[in-house]
Every structure is written in C-alpha cells, then in structure tokens.
Structure 1
Amino acid sequence: MRRELKLKKSVLSIAVLLIVVIIIAAGAGRFLVVDEPPRQSDVIVVLSGDKGERTVKGVELFQKHFAPYLLFSGGIVYNHVTMAELMGKHAEGLGIPKDAILLEDKADSTYENATFTLDIMKKKGLTSAIVVSSNYHMKRVKFLFEREFKNSGITLTYVAATDEYFAPSKWWSNNKSIMITINEYIKFAGYLFGKNA
C-alpha cells in the first residue's frame, strides 16, 4: 500500500513538473520580446545585426515623425566598412535625408551599442530615444540599455522590428527560430553573469 502511494505521488510529481516545463518552454519566445508603443523622442537608435528589418522599422518611425534623427549603431563588418555606414546608406535609399542620419561605428556587441550610443547622445544633448532592434533581441537590449543609461536622465522607449524567422509564440516551429531563441538565452545569461559579456 505504501509503495503504491509513493509511486502515485512520484508519477504525480513528474506529471506536474512536466506540465510546468512545457508551460515555461511555450512562453520562452514571448519572454524575449519587448515592444512598446513609440513615443516622441529626440532620436531613433537602430542596432545592427539583421538583414535590414531594423533599418526599415527605424525609417518607418522617422517618417511618422517620432524623432528628427536616426542613429545607426554598428562596427566594422569588412575591411573599413561599418554596419552603421551600410544601415545609413540603406536609410538614404529609403528617402531619409543625409543630415538626419547619425552614425555610431565602433560597437561590436549589444553592450557596446548601449555604451557608445550613450556617449553620442550625451555629446549631442539628446535626452530621449526610441531603441529599435529585432523582436527576439529586445529583452537583452532593454536589460543592457537600462543598465548603461541608468542615472543618465535619458528616457528610452523600446520598439521591436519583426524578424521573418522568429515566431515568439511558436519559437520551436522552425530551425532558425529555435537557434535564435537558444542563442538569445545563452547571450542573456552571459550578460547577467558578466558585465561586458
């Protein structure tokens, strides 16, 4: 009788644990997404690291008059060519005037995006920004930007660009989305346990 009771309790515990794991796993993609309504700001900061959706989202926000400047952040990708420069050219091709484009061309990580963007904003006296990145990247972006901009007096709003491969509610639906999700959690853990990871 005792053995049967123990076995039933064990099976029940395993079933409950399995249900909890499934619920957590199902929400793993949605947890990564931060997407706030855009607010009037001094600048739209667009981070590098995608195939152009982030730039398009930044341009869309600029064209809706949410800010008078676009600041592209991204370091060297080949020889002396920077992602910031490529993103700026893409924006120009979409109709953005050159004098509305600012470039931060040193960042090689999300941490550096935050640090170097903060320096530029302070130098230019900009006190608010809309930060744009891919939807799957936004939780990590917000974590790092909030940490680096703490006590700066600068107001930040986070707006996500949709990535065609990442499905927040069904992150397991394709290989690319699975890899994006796992990669984000690994990188996020790195930032949690190491300042400049």
Structure 2
Amino acid sequence: MLKRKGIILIIVLMVVAVCFINAGRFLVYDDVIHKSDAIIVLSGDRGERVERAAELYQKGYAKYFVISGGIVYHDVTMAQLMKEHAIQLGIPEKAIIMEDRADSTYENAYFTKKVIKSYPIHSAIVISSNYHMKRVKMIFDREFKDTGLKLFYTGAKDQYFSKTRWWSNNKSIMITITEYIKMVGYALGKNY
C-alpha cells in the first residue's frame, strides 16, 4: 500500500512538473495563415502587434487593416495611437478600419464584429501578443461562430515573454499567471 502511494505521488509530481514547464507553450497559438480580406489587430501592447500586422499587410495578406482599442486617457483611444503607428509603417489610411470602444479582449471581438459587418470581409487574420493568442482564439471563435467569417490567428512576439522559460523574469511570470486567471474567468462566464 505504501509503495503504491509513493508511485502515485511520483506520477502526480511528474504531471505537475510537465504542466509547469509547458505553461507558457500552452498560451501560444499560431495558425498557418492564409491570404484574407482583413487583418484584425488588438490593442494592449507596446507596438509589436501593429508591426506584425503591418508586415503581413505589406506582404499582401489582406486588403483591410482593422484596429481595435478603446480609451486609454481622457478622449484618446488606443485605436488612434495604433492608427498613427500603422500609417508610419506604410499602411494606407483608406485601408484602416477603426474600432475604438473595446476595453477588453471580449470587447475587441464584440465591437470588431459590429464594425466590420458593413464591409466585404469573409476572412481575417487576428493578431495579438503571442502569449495572448489561446485566449483570443477562445473568445473570437465563440463571438464569431455564427458569422461564417473564417478566422486565422497569429501572435506578435512579446519581448518580455518566453514560452519555453516563462519563469525566467518577473514580467513573463506575471503575464503567464494573468493569462491563466483570465482564461479561467472567461470559461466561468466573465468577459475579459
């Protein structure tokens, strides 16, 4: 009996260790992306997301460049700041579609769906930070499930997050823990 409990304990510890080591990898999700009608960029970073989206746009992956981000200070929106950055990177202003109400990932999906329905968009590449993509996919897949819109997902690399060594710095640790808390919250019906 004691030997059996020891074996069970070792197995449990091994499972916990594997989950711990792979916690960062689980958060990252990347599709093989295909040419689409639009690229949807979510706010919430220091510019890497817009830069990744601009790179794909310049390679001809999409006609429309959709920016989603709400108020960050007084009446300045993240979408405005992202638009300025996109234009600096060579994105034509006429290609940019603005969604400037979202304050969460759920709202990015909800309000973007409303904004793009008047455009001929049937497919889109959704871009956020690499650590954020698993939750983005959960939320966007659920919000867009009845639209017929084909979504592809790709992440922008975050300078502080390491998917293989997420425990290596304080920011990476906080990013990882926060993402798991938000994923659980979303699974329980909270809209983050």
| TM-score (norm. length: structure 2) | 0.97
1:63 equivalent in alignment to 2:58: yes
> C-alpha distance in 1, partners of 2:17/2:33?
33
Structure 1 residue aligned with 2:43? 48
1:20-31 aligned at under 5 Å gives the runs 20-31=15-26
- Partner amino acid for 2:97? L
> How has the CA–CA distance of structure 1 residues 195 and 187 changed in structure 2, closer, same or farther, with 3 Å as cutoff?
closer
**Partners of 2:33 and 2:135 in 1: CA distance:** 19
Partner of 1:12: 7
Tell me the amino acid that sits aligned with residue 85 of structure 1: Q
Structure-2 separation of matches of 1:128 and 1:7: 58
Unpaired runs of 5+ residues, structure 1, are: 1-5
Gaps of 5+ in 2: none
> 1:47-101 CA distances to partner (integer Å, 9 max, x unpaired)?
0000000000000000000001111100000011100110000011111111111
Q: Among 166, 189, 194, which residue is 2:189 paired with? A: 194
- Aligned residues between the structures: 192
Q: Residues 44-123 of structure 1: matches in 2 within 5 Å?
A: 44-123=39-118
Bigger Rg, which one: 1
Deviation of residue 7 (structure 1)?
Answer: 2.9
Aligned counterpart, 1:163: 158
The amino acid of 2:157's aligned partner reads: T
- Inter-partner Cα distance in structure 2 for 1:136 and 1:195: 19
Offset at 1:195? 4.9
| C-alpha deviation, 1:196, in angstroms | 2.6
CA deviation string 1:137-167 (max 9, x = no partner):
0000000000000110100000110001111
Give the fraction of aligned pairs with identical amino acids, expressed as a percent. 57
Amino acid at match of 2:50: T
Distance 2:64 2:121 in 1: 10
Cα RMSD over matched residues? 1.0
Partner Cα distance (1:157, 1:104) in 2: 19
Q: Residue 3 of structure 1 corresponds to which residue in structure 2? A: none
